[in-house]
Amino acid sequence: MPSALTIKAALRWLTSFLLAGLLLGSQALYAESSKVVVMTSYPQEVVSTFEAAFEQQYPQYKLEVLWRQSRDAMAYFKQPPQPVDVYWTPAQRNFAQLEHMQALAPLDLDLTGLPEQLHGYPLRSSHYIASEIAGYGMAINPKAIQAQGLPSPSTWQDLTAAGYHGKIGLPIPSKVGYAPPLIDILLQGYGWQAGWNLLQALAANAELVTSGATFISDDVANGRLLAGLTIDFFTASAIANGAPLQFVYPEITAYSPAHIAIMRQAANVEGARAFRDFVLSEAGQRLLFHPDVRKLPVRPSAYAYKPADYYNPYASNIGFIYDSKKGLARQELTNALFDAIISLNIAQLQYSYEQLTAATQKLGADAPQVLKARALLQTLPIPEPIDTESSTEITSPDKAQIQAWQLQMQQRYAEAARILAQP
């Protein structure tokens, strides 16, 4: 039989246990209501800049960042329930997919001052909205280019000049996250055939880049490369941090928007709204000018505060309107073709183009040998897919298909080199 002392002790324990439980429960509730979970693939500099400013404006909320690259993020979202309130990242395809999966909450915010499109380029859908823009172009080292006695490039074709041989960086779209639209801009801007032939000519002069674009700006800044095809913010940030670089937007270029959306199953809807609205607010948009961020605001009024020489896409004219839906739909295909035509055949491609240049100088551009070799070099594995006008995603080619294209191109490069080597 338990003694009175034991019963008292047990009661005391029970009371303190319940009190502790209540206390912990209320703390957990408080913690949940203050936490805003944001999924992103932004680099730490961007996250830290926004985190600090958001918490200053909304001290009642604490940002919790779940970091994932776009491919990993989609895998994560496909295994619900996941505790994400806001998705904020440069991965347009993911947003389209999430919208299709009905995983996003409807766009419900004051859109005053936020344009629907930029140069015909849509900036929002019914469930997600662009939060910043990045532009494509060339990072160049003006001093190093001048030292080589070369003219400063203003078009993509300028980088195919002999003086740039071995001195430009070209990212591989299947390896470098920002690169697929960059490649597709050339394909859409110049047309399928001419676009691929321009990419081949660029590759003939290039060092292929497989990792993040900061390495392109590093190598251009230290003079190892003279120029690199890249996205603007890496270079703009490097310039703001003292790098001797310049960024050139060619006439044929386009923008890549990053988006923000609230998840349909967000646990903290109020907090999620606060963060989204902050990102899109003028204060949030002005953070994009920070030297470590250097992205382009979507809110035009923010440009009134831009640093000197900062690019304003709303005040610039571009040569054509890039169809991002078309680009996204055929992204896997163009990545695979780039590998087959360029990355996996880079040595053969560069050798045959060197032969072509030498033969052109020696025999003339219209010499039958030169014409025959050029036609061979520039023949593509496939014509432009006809269904890419729609936004239907094109099935990714399998390994065997890519290998077959690679082999086809390898033989063409070898045959072209053989023809050019004939006396």
Which residue in 30, 166, 365, 371 binds another protein (CB under 8 A)?
30
| Residue 83 found at the interface with another protein (CB under 8 A) | yes
Closest approach, Cβ 370 to another protein, in A, equals: 39
Q: Between residues 286 and 326, which has the closer beta carbon with respect to another protein?
A: 286
Lay out the site mask for another protein across 316-355 (x = CB under 8 A, - = otherwise). Answer: ----------------------------------------
| Residue 97 found at the interface with another protein (CB under 8 A) | no
Which residue in 33, 51, 323, 410 binds another protein (CB under 8 A)?
51
Tokens representing 313? 């896409």
| Residue 72 found at the interface with another protein (CB under 8 A) | yes
Q: DSSP class of residue 390?
A: S
Residues 373/352, Cβ–Cβ less than 8 Å: yes
Span 228-257, contacts to another protein by CB under 8 A: 238, 240-244
Q: Between residues 73 and 168, which has the closer beta carbon with respect to another protein?
A: 73
Among the listed ranges 3-11, 68-76, 272-280, 387-395, the one in contact with another protein (CB under 8 A) is 68-76
| Residue 2 found at the interface with another protein (CB under 8 A) | no
For residue 67, give the 3-state DSSP assignment.
strand
Closest approach, Cβ 67 to another protein, in A, equals: 4
Sign of CA dihedral 143, 149, 153, 157: negative
Closest approach, Cβ 166 to another protein, in A, equals: 17
CA distance 277 to 110: 9
Helix (H) or strand (E) holding 278: helix 269-280
Q: DSSP class of residue 119?
A: T
**First-to-last CA distance in the chain?**
112
Q: Buried (b) or exposed (e) across 5-26, using 16+ Cβ within 10 A? A: eeeeeeeeeeeeeeeeeeeeee
Residues 178/171, Cβ–Cβ less than 8 Å: yes
In order, the DSSP letters of 130-188 are: EEEEEEEEEEE-HHHHHHTTPPPP-STGGGGSGGGTT-EEEE-TTTSTTHHHHHHHHHH
Closest approach, Cβ 238 to another protein, in A, equals: 5
Helix (H) or strand (E) holding 276: helix 269-280
Which residue in 6, 155, 211, 312 binds another protein (CB under 8 A)?
211
Among the listed ranges 51-59, 128-136, 172-180, 407-415, the one in contact with another protein (CB under 8 A) is 51-59
Which residue in 33, 53, 67, 320 binds another protein (CB under 8 A)?
67
Residues 226/220, Cβ–Cβ less than 8 Å: yes
| Residue 221 found at the interface with another protein (CB under 8 A) | yes
Number of helical H runs and strand E runs in the chain: 16, 12
Sequence length of the chain is 423
Closest approach, Cβ 68 to another protein, in A, equals: 6
| Residue 15 found at the interface with another protein (CB under 8 A) | no
| Residue 291 found at the interface with another protein (CB under 8 A) | yes
Which residue in 75, 147, 161, 358 binds another protein (CB under 8 A)?
75
CA distance 183 to 208: 13
Among the listed ranges 23-31, 101-109, 183-191, 339-347, the one in contact with another protein (CB under 8 A) is 23-31
Closest approach, Cβ 196 to another protein, in A, equals: 30
Q: Between residues 14 and 52, which has the closer beta carbon with respect to another protein?
A: 52
Q: Between residues 59 and 423, which has the closer beta carbon with respect to another protein?
A: 59
In order, the DSSP letters of 281-298 are: SHHHHHGGGSTTT--EES
| Residue 45 found at the interface with another protein (CB under 8 A) | yes
Q: Tell me which residue of 284, 270, 253, 236 sits closest to 129, measured CA to CA.
A: 284
The footprint of another protein (CB under 8 A) covers 20, 24, 27-28, 30-31, 43-45, 47-48, 51-52, 55-56, 59, 62, 64-69, 71-72, 75-76, 82-83, 211-212, 214-215, 217-218, 221-222, 224, 238, 240-244, 291-292
